[in-house]
């Protein structure tokens, strides 16, 4: 699950980075975009993404009832702005966390932090849901945020409230490169491979592709560092 | 086998080493043989190379993303037209960082573009070390040491530079100040001078410039032939 209670902190960017990372590692993944009905993630990954309303029972069933049966081993949930807490509550109410405790599913939460201290309060609010989960705080620098000048002691006090908390850094991507991928409406890897969404050869700038490729490598290093593939393979 | 498109990157550690003269000589060498070239001048303050060849050379600022795209993307066009980059010493680090970040060398090879570094020595110990570092950093890239005795008097006699074999070095002899003044006049074209020698010029000046040019152009010719032969399939 990728979430934040604030908008504009880059949830969909991180979800896209995750889907690309899984694809690169030959791991089948599907995604649910809870930004109902718009679904930004679906624009970039139309084949693998469904737009759902996580507060509605039929959609909850679509997501959760297929977790164990689907051939696809990874499900990425991109929660819409402001819906992280309600999504976690919905998951709790349908017994998802019990299933997790029983070892039926492995749950990882990527909590994208915003540029204000309110984000630290979010961490405290989220903590009760994820004490047994794999909880990562994501510092997303992609959109030029320079907000991580927090007092380390304060940050540590929040980190102390959650088990297994680690942090992931999404580094800055050149603004023009970001914008061009946005215009292309393709996964990052498709842009790097100089292809259109339809798989045809594209005319993307090599320089911009290079920036995206380097940025992807840094993301992959981060995901490798937190041993994300081990979560997928049930080794954690 | 098709000959690769040559991309000459002319660089030096400091200023006043003779980079623009090297770029100019190379440009006129191609024009003389009825070929054209595409040039780039990264000195945004004093783009002498761009001013000398306004039709063929563009000034590009490698500190901006637009400038990077205007430089890097056309360099990778394998159209058989040689590319000449007059790299301002102040953009040296940024340019090579960009090459690394975009994985330019690998992409160039894939597209049949042959990057060639022309390192213009300035006679200092730092320059000697920088040349060695460049060779070490890019072991698979053609490296040519340019020793411009006109720009840096005495540089030709430095022992460290003698270890570069003739195939990997260009020597530009010092030109008599009177002749130098002549060729540095705005609008004076070296290739046009050789194609249509001006009748109103002193015979001595004409002979001096011609002699100087042929010595340099014959080194360029040998170098080009060596590349052509190296890329040819079995000759016998």
Q: Is-contact A130 A159, C-beta < 8 A?
A: no
Mean pLDDT (chain B) is 89
Task: Please report the beta strands in B106-210, taking only residues with DSSP state E, as ranges in sequence order.
Answer: 113-121, 142-148, 169-172
- Pick among B61, B103, B105 to test the A interface (most A CBs inside 10 A): B103
pLDDT on residue A167: 83
Which range marks the domain in which residue B96 is found? 5-231
B113 contacts: CB under 8 Å, gap ≥ 6: B4, B5, B6, B7, B75, B76, B77, B78
The kind and range of the H/E element at A140 are strand A134-140
Mean pLDDT to the nearest integer, B86-90: 93
Chain B CB contacts of A177 under 8 Å are 65
Write the residue in A174, A176, A213 that is nearest to B103 by C-beta.
Answer: A213
CATH code of the domain in which B132 resides: 3.40.50.300
CA distance B14 to chain A (A): 26
Distance CA B212, CA B178 (A): 13
Statement: residue B2 has pLDDT above 70? no
Distance CA B45, CA B204 (A): 36
pLDDT on residue B129: 87
- The token duo for B84 is 């000449």
For chain A, which domains are there?
Answer: 2-172 (3.40.50.300)
B230 contacts: CB under 8 Å, gap ≥ 6: none
Q: In which band, very low, low, confident or very high, does the pLDDT at B236 lie, cut at 50, 70 and 90?
A: very low
- The token duo for B91 is 């953009």
Beta bridge partners of B172: B148
Q: Is-contact A22 A74, C-beta < 8 A?
A: yes
Q: Which of A89, A79, A65 is nearest to A31 (CA)?
A: A79
Decide which of A146 and B8 is more confident: B8
Chain B CB contacts of A205 under 8 Å are 69, 73
Give pLDDT tens digits for B155-174: 666 666 666 666 688 999 99
Exposure string (b/e) for A100-118, b if CB count within 10 Å is 16 or more? beeeeebbbbbbbbbbeee
- The token duo for B108 is 């160039």
CB contact under 8 A, B102 and A207: yes
User: Hunting for tokens 């994985």 — which residue is that?
Assistant: B103
Q: Is-contact B147 B169, C-beta < 8 A?
A: yes
Chain B residue closest to A205 (CA)? B73
Mean pLDDT to the nearest integer, B45-70: 94
Q: Which of A145, B157, A34, A26 is nearest to A15 (CA)?
A: A34
Give me the tens of pLDDT residue by residue for chain A, a chain 236 residues long: 998 877 777 889 999 999 999 999 999 999 999 887 777 899 999 999 999 888 788 888 888 877 766 678 899 999 887 788 888 888 888 888 888 888 888 889 998 876 665 666 776 777 777 765 688 888 887 765 555 555 666 666 666 666 555 788 898 898 899 999 999 999 999 999 999 999 999 999 999 999 999 999 999 999 999 989 988 887 66
B136 contacts: CB under 8 Å, gap ≥ 6: none
The percentage of chain B sitting over the pLDDT mark of 90, rounded to a whole number, equals 66
Strand B113-121, strand B169-172: pairing: unpaired
Q: Is A199 exposed, middle or buried (0-12, 13-18, 19+ CB in 10 A)?
A: exposed
Tell me A49's DSSP state. Answer: E
Distance CA A119, CA B136 (A): 47
CB contact under 8 A, B103 and A209: no
Q: Which of A73, A93, A84, A75 is nearest to A125 (CA)?
A: A84
Mean pLDDT to the nearest integer, B52-63: 94
Number of Cβ atoms within 10 Å of the Cβ of A12: 22
Write the residue in A175, A176, A210 that is nearest to B101 by C-beta.
Answer: A210
A186 contacts: CB under 8 Å, gap ≥ 6: A44, A195, A196, A197
Q: Which of B14, B9, B113, B127 is nearest to B62 (CA)?
A: B9
Say yes or no: B76 contacts chain A, CB-CB below 8 A: yes
Distance CA B82, CA B7 (A): 6
Q: Which of A176, A207, A173 is nearest to B104 (CA)?
A: A207
Give pLDDT tens digits for B203-220: 999 999 999 999 999 999
Chains A and B form CB pairs within 8 A to the count of 36
Number of Cβ atoms within 10 Å of the Cβ of A19: 25
User: Hunting for tokens 């999404």 — which residue is that?
Assistant: A170
Say yes or no: B68 contacts chain A, CB-CB below 8 A: yes
By three-state DSSP, how is residue B22 classified?
helix
Distance CA A182, CA A211 (A): 14
Which of B122-126, B137-141, B183-187 shows the lowest per-residue confidence on average (mean pLDDT)?
B122-126
pLDDT on residue B126: 86
**B16 backbone φψ class: left, alpha, beta (φ>0; ψ -120 to 50):** left
Instruction: Tally the residues of chain B.
Output: 236
Q: Name the domain count of chain B.
A: 1
Statement: residue B11 has pLDDT above 70? yes
Write the residue in A175, A207, A213 that is nearest to B69 by C-beta.
Answer: A207
Distance of CA A179 to the CA centre of its chain: 19
Distance CA A76, CA A48 (A): 10
B130 contacts: CB under 8 Å, gap ≥ 6: B13, B119
Residue B236 lies in a domain: no
Q: In which band, very low, low, confident or very high, does the pLDDT at B108 lie, cut at 50, 70 and 90?
A: very high
């Amino acid at each position: 699950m990728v979430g934040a209670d604030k908008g504009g902190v880059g949830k969909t960017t991180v979800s896209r980075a995750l889907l690309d990372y899984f694809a690169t590692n030959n791991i089948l993944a599907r995604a649910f975009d809870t930004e109902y009905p718009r679904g930004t993630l679906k624009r970039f990954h139309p084949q693998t993404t469904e737009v759902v309303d996580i507060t509605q029972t039929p959609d909850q069933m679509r997501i959760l009832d297929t977790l164990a049966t689907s051939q696809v081993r990874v499900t990425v949930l991109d929660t819409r702005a402001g819906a992280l807490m309600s999504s976690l509550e919905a998951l709790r109410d349908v017994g998802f966390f019990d299933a997790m405790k029983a070892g039926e599913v492995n749950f990882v939460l990527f909590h994208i932090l915003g540029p204000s201290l309110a984000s630290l309060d979010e961490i405290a609010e989220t903590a009760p849901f994820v004490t047994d989960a794999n909880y990562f705080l994501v510092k997303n620098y992609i959109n030029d945020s320079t907000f991580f000048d927090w007092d380390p002691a304060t940050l540590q006090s929040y980190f102390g409230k959650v088990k297994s908390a680690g942090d992931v850094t999404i580094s800055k991507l050149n603004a023009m490169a970001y914008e061009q991928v946005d215009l292309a409406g393709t996964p990052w890897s498709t842009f790097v491979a100089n292809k259109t969404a339809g798989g045809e050869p594209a005319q993307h700038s090599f320089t911009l592709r290079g920036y995206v490729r380097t940025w992807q490598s840094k993301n992959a290093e981060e995901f490798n560092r937190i041993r994300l593939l081990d979560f997928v393979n049930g080794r954690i | 086998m098709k000959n690769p498109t040559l991309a000459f990157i002319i660089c030096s550690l400091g200023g006043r080493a003779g980079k623009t003269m090297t770029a100019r000589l190379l440009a006129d060498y191609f024009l003389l043989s009825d070929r054209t070239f595409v040039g780039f001048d990264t000195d945004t303050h004093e783009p002498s190379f761009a001013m000398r060849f306004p039709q063929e050379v563009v000034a590009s600022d490698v500190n901006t993303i637009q400038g990077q795209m205007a430089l890097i993307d056309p360099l990778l066009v394998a159209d058989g037209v040689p590319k000449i980059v007059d790299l301002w010493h102040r953009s040296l680090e940024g340019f090579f960082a960009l090459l690394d970040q975009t994985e330019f060398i690998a992409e160039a090879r894939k597209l049949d573009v042959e990057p060639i570094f022309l390192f213009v020595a300035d006679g200092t110990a730092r320059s000697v070390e920088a040349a060695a570092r460049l060779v070490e950093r890019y072991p698979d890239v053609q490296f040519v040491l340019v020793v411009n005795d006109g720009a840096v008097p005495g540089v030709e006699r430095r022992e460290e530079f003698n270890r570069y074999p003739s195939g990997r070095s260009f020597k530009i002899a010092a030109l008599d100040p009177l002749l130098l003044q002549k060729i540095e006049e705005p609008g004076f074209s070296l290739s046009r001078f050789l194609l249509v020698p001006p009748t109103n010029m002193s015979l001595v000046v004409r002979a001096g410039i011609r002699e100087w040019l042929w010595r340099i152009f014959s080194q360029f010719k040998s170098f080009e032939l060596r590349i052509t032969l190296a890329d040819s399939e079995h000759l016998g």
